[in-house]
Chains A and B, each alone.
Chain A
Amino acid sequence: MTVLLARRVGGAGRPGWSLLVLLVAAAVASPVAGVSGYAVAQGGVRAPSGTGAMIVTTAVLLGLVAAGTAVLGTGLAWLVTAYDFPLRRTLGWLLVLPLAMPAYILGFVYLSTFDYAGPVQSWLRSVLGDDLGIGVSGIPVRSIGGAAVVLVLTLYPYVYLMTRAALAETAPTAHDAARSLGAGPGRAFRTVLLPLVRPSLAAGLALVMMETLTDFATVQYFGVRTLSVGVYLAWKGSFDVGSAIAVAVLVLVAAVVVLAVERLLRGRARYSQRGGRGRGLAQRRLTGFRAAAATGTALLVVALAFGLPVLRLGVWAATALADDPGAVVDERFVDHLGSSVSVAAVVAGTCVLVSLLMAHALRLGGGRVVRGAAQVTTFGYAVPGAVVGIGVLVVFQAADDALVALGAEGGTGLLATGSVLGVLAAYVVRFTGPAYQAVDASFSRVPPTVTQSALALGAGPIRLLSRVHLPLVRPGVAVAFTLVVVDAVKELPLVLLLRPFGFTTLSVWVYELASENFWERAALPALLIVALALVPVALLNRSARPVDPMARVGG
């Protein structure tokens, strides 16, 4: 028996570490609180018409996307860790790539590929006739179903990454024992592995659902009236962000519900495994038809979710380059690239460090308040980006005014939008959520006895972190780093809103072209974003690769 019921390390915790968690939570929550206070102060909070229907639509979309990503993400993670089949290693990391594609590009690419005037339906009409041989004038792509398919194809990597990391950390003994005692592969997965990956699956699903909640681009393209469309309509309609706050708060409430469900999904029981980090499962080699089916399934997902958009963008980029290279290759693109890289690196480092310190602090104890505070840090991810941006603006401005009131000469001089500081702060507020989810999920598989023993043997909190916890949660840290880098590189609303003059990232560059429908010229920078996001994905692949068979023999 390697699976045991884990209990938290008890006690009141260490005040310093608990304080750290509370401070981080306050910092992350301040923009959301700030923007709400600002809206109330302006007196313009009211729900727009049709909010009830929006809630229903949002719930339906969330359900569809959660179900789809859970099946696809967990299924694929299980496939690449428990079995061996041709191209498994390559596919293992190719399957992460859809994460690199910004939603504002994907929505358009999918719609323009599959709608009436797109190549797919045009081809079908040319083959089957104008009524497609079934008496319809076209296939209605622009629907909640279409949006759900696109969101599932782009968001499943969150679940895939999290559950794959969990499976990679799993010690094979329990699973092997179950199999040798006669459980089939399905039963062994359900009864032994699923409980162990459940925290990761739940964390992944929570991220997926928060992304779905705050997505505007895809739902706008596909005409699905979710709450984030409501935020946009209320804001646009009245030319005042105050009117949008009521709906933004509803989005946040929905996120709180999602997180509560996540906690329920993780269950009251917390499973960890004896012996710390495992080395992954022994892979069963598939042959013949089964091997072909496994390779084929994974290939199909990669082709649909990543190959197709890249191909479309590639064709557009080639067309634009052939047309007028001068209009496409901006001489400042090295600057833009540099901005994207620096911001992503600083933000990812900060978010991962903050998450690690928080998860570690929780391990040292602390009460319900501290645990609740840790959960609050994920809320930045659950509010539409533009609203977080306004919040950061409001908070920084208030800080600025406070400094002036305290007599600081000229305050800090445009703290928020006069430098990159505002952008960095907003990114950290937004992306501490995914980083913490990934790190925390990894922590939950470390048995409390390990922590207790180390403390009992006299290790201080720092030594405990660096020598015990960090080595054990490395896969979670790698996932967190990757998620934040990829998210930061493609992030748009925050940088658009808060950047200083002369600061442009790749995503802003794409936006400037795409918002005017210059898709062919936007394709090259869009491909650059994807290429940039590939770097951490490749690094992750090296650091969190499911166990190497050779190492198993040696170890």
Chain B
Amino acid sequence: MRRPFVLLAALPLLATSACGFLGSDEEADIQVYSARHYDLEQAFEGFTEETGLTVEFLNGDDDELLERLKAEGEDTPADVFITVDAGMLWNAAEQGQLATMDSPVLEEAVPADLRDPEGRWAGLAMRARTVVYDPEAVDPSELDPTDTYAALGDPRWRGRVCMRDETASYTQSLVASLIDLHGRERAQEIVESWVANDVQIMSNDVELLETIDAGGCDLGISNHYYLARMLEEDPDFGVALYWASQEGEGVHVNISGAGVVEGSDAPEDAQRLIEWLATDGQSQFVDGNHEFPVNPDVEPEELIAGFGDFERMPVDAAAYGSLNAEAVEVLDEAGYR
């Protein structure tokens, strides 16, 4: 009768012994939770070469990493939290997970709207969510330069537009920015006009671009770097980029950014890494993914510089962060799916 209990008691021991060979290596100087997965290693190697500080990182989904930080509290091994959404940065700060950085370096390197006024996070890479089109089917002069996003609800685009699904944070933060700009009622009308235009919903941006290339849609909304990636592989890829709303509020942008974790045991080193990423490490951090540097002194890589200069909508992290739930409601109520 006792033996199964002995067996059962042995299980955790078995598991622990498994941990012996499964456990992690020696701890690095700086430990990073990151929702950004592109070529981080390369950038961190550059940092280690310059400073001698070692960095290790753990990739994950940003919402889940935030919950993990909250659950771990003071015990967290993490020193830096890198995420891919301004709203997420704002929420991480609001939920008390990010420490204040007092950093003249960041104030100098990062434009004011791309960092927290209280110094709890700073943007490090910028992406634009703009209109992409098939040059054989669309003349860019047909697009409304004052409010390009809203004008996609014009009946002339009926059945011709592709967009991303409502689960994409890209869609949510675009709609949150529309609510911020125009108010909820107008934002609702805009989304409804898209739906009335039989917008085709896609599950990812690459699929969206390929559908435009294949002739399934004439235009759509995509992150600029997915198009850059397609053009890098195939310079003849049949989709072109249009900077949205250049005579209006500017193109919608969002940022990847970072903050020092509240429970970090190496906050100075963590801040140093973030400062380095915003200055000397900018190109290494953004170029691998064809993103725009946040630091105005750093040039974007050639491929995306070829898209031309653009005016951007100011990033209102508090709005993106607090209006996201409302954006999901607007999308649902408009029947966007």
Contact = CB atoms under 8 A, between A and B. Distances in A.
A357 B1 CA distance: 12
Given A239-B88, A413-B75, A517-B226, A420 B167 contact: no
Contacts of A548: none
A117 B56 contact: no
A501 to B, nearest CB: 5
B37 A117 contact: no
Contacts of A397: 71-73, 75
Given A142-B201, A397-B72, A417-B68, A16 B5 contact: yes
B165 interface: yes
Contacts of B220: none
A191 interface: no
A238 B324 contact: yes
A418 B22 CA distance: 12
B4 interface: yes
Interface stretch (B113-121, B211-219, B247-255, B308-316): B211-219
B67 A237 contact: no
B333 interface: yes
Contact of B337 (A225, A419, A424, A460): A225
B18 A48 contact: no
A342 B22 contact: yes
Given A117-B214, A240-B95, A461-B1, A48 B38 contact: no
A84 interface: no
A20 B8 contact: yes
A221 B166 contact: no
Contact of A239 (B63, B327, B332): B63
Contacts of A138: 216
Contacts of A240: 91, 95
Given A343-B22, A413-B75, A500-B23, A237 B68 contact: no
Given A49-B329, A239-B91, A515-B37, A221 B203 contact: yes
B204 interface: yes
Contacts of A112: 207
Contacts of B67: 241, 390, 393, 497
Contacts of B95: 239-240
Given A237-B324, A239-B324, A223 B66 contact: no
Contacts of B205: 517
B66 to A, nearest CB: 7
A186 to B, nearest CB: 42
A5 B266 CA distance: 68
Contacts of A236: 63, 167, 169, 172, 324, 328
Interface string B51-92: 000001011110110111001110101000000000110011
Nearest to B2: A16
B167 A232 contact: yes
A130 B15 contact: no
Most buried by B among A116, A222, A493, A515: A116
Given A112-B207, A235-B63, A346 B24 contact: no
B330 to A, nearest CB: 9
A50 B172 CA distance: 16
Contact of B64 (A223, A346, A350, A496): A496
A339 interface: yes
A194 interface: no
Interface in A365-419: 386, 389-390, 393-394, 397, 400, 411, 413-414, 416-419
A115 interface: yes
A497 B68 contact: yes
B97 to A, nearest CB: 11
Interface in A238-268: 238-241, 243
6 contacts: A49-B329, A236-B172, A237-B327, A414-B72, A503-B22, A519-B206
